[in-house]
Structure 1
Amino acid sequence: MKVKRHEYDSMDRTLAIFRHAKKKALGSLHIHEVYIDECQDNHIMDIALILKVFDRTSSIFFAGDIAQCIAKGSSFRFQDLQALIYQWELTRKNDNILKPKLFDLNINYRSHNGILKLAASVVKLIQYLFPNSIDQLSSERSEVDGPLPIIFDGFEEEYFNIFVNNNRPDEPTFTYDICREMKCRKRKKQSSFVEFGADQVIIVRNEVVKSRVTELVGKGAMVLTVLDAKGMEFNDVLLYNFFTDSPAQRKV
């Protein structure tokens, strides 16, 4: 289908460069060292191409977080990266083969233990149910304690009206509880309007849900998908219907 439409993706581009590299070496770039952050967002093929530029493993430093591996089609593991680098070292035909070192940075300075414990429990489930799909790394921890995230059962889309309507005395009680728990700022005048700012966000599963929720809240709140919110920080987060809108149930 891609050939008929003359389309290509990032993997096609990488393979094209590889084919060119067989005819002409890539060593003329004269890059001495490189630091690659968020390496989990790269395919192993992309990293293999990067390795062709260097003549020794000690020139490269990778950093990443497997829990943030959310790119479609990517199943990054540090085990695979280690194996790739080791095999690359063997092709150098050098007696001094360097084995890549792996170490954990498991102290999180951007969150508290309440959230990290919940995140760790999800990662442990993945490790138990799909042991070969994720690295076995130590759990993240924080030097700051905090409350566990709150789960609201029975939340309906109509409750998002609280973000746009300011004269709704009949709003469900637990909607106010949500806003109180999230420490949302209210206007000085007595009303049911909840003001979301740059420190608060509603995160949804995909673009379809994002469009639907955006229509409901208007400019009353920031709505982002998981991909949109990657790398961003917020004080208050409402994760809406993350499992309900998951495509996994359609594959069973």
Structure 2
Amino acid sequence: MQPINLNQVKVPGEDLEKIEAELRLSVETSDPVLSEVATHLIEAGGKRIRPILALAAARAVGEDSTIEVVRGASAVELVHLASLYHDDVMDEANERRGVVSVNARWGNLIAVVSGDFLLARAAGIAARLGSEIAELLADTLAEMCEGQIAEVKDGFNTSRSKEEYLRAISGKTASLMATSARIGALAAKGERGRVQALTEIGNNFGMLFQIRDDVLDIAASREELRKLPGQDLLEGVYNLPVIMALESKEVGGELRAILDEKVTEESLP
């Protein structure tokens, strides 16, 4: 089997245009309110990392972006968007991707149900792509839930370990990245060895992506993040940078004392 290097894989702009069109098509509904809410974050844009990963995986096994690949890539993005709708309800967020969050504009009930609608449409796409992809997406949703619950259980826990952190992000973030690559490779009918290799690449990328995101949450500006920095600290989610600082002999004690007092928005720099 030839080595896989996704850095050498180019995803053309027209493929991304196909994804945007498929996303809008997939959430069409006769209800005007649901239609507006379901397209809210699609219209807000985003990096589309998960569908790009699926497209790149398909090209890595030698297949251009067939309709099956485009639909598979769209399904994983719908799952991601649904998770954002639900995350913003849990976080009581007011902003997402530079626009008012769904929950802030329409309320928690509509945000939750609309997120469920996106999941339903993703499941429908996966079912049409075959039982293997449908089962894979269902298993991934379960992993995402397990990862999120693991994170919630460790809320405001200054004794959270690196292992507990890594287990949580493996479920809530890396699992969907791995599935994005796997669905792209499966939809492109890739050889099994390459499908598995791409799945592992997707998983490793997802772990690194989440660690980077957690660093940015405390190190980047509001303009860079397009949302309030320090959100995880406010919610008592102590990620890898905080865990490592708490383990430090130099600053660990001082930081633990600050966190025990609970961080407020006013106390953030």
Give the TM-score normalised by structure 2.
0.22
Q: Which has the higher strand share?
A: 1
| Larger Cα-atom Rg | 1
Q: Which has the higher helix share?
A: 2
Higher relative contact order (CA 8 A, sep 6+): 2
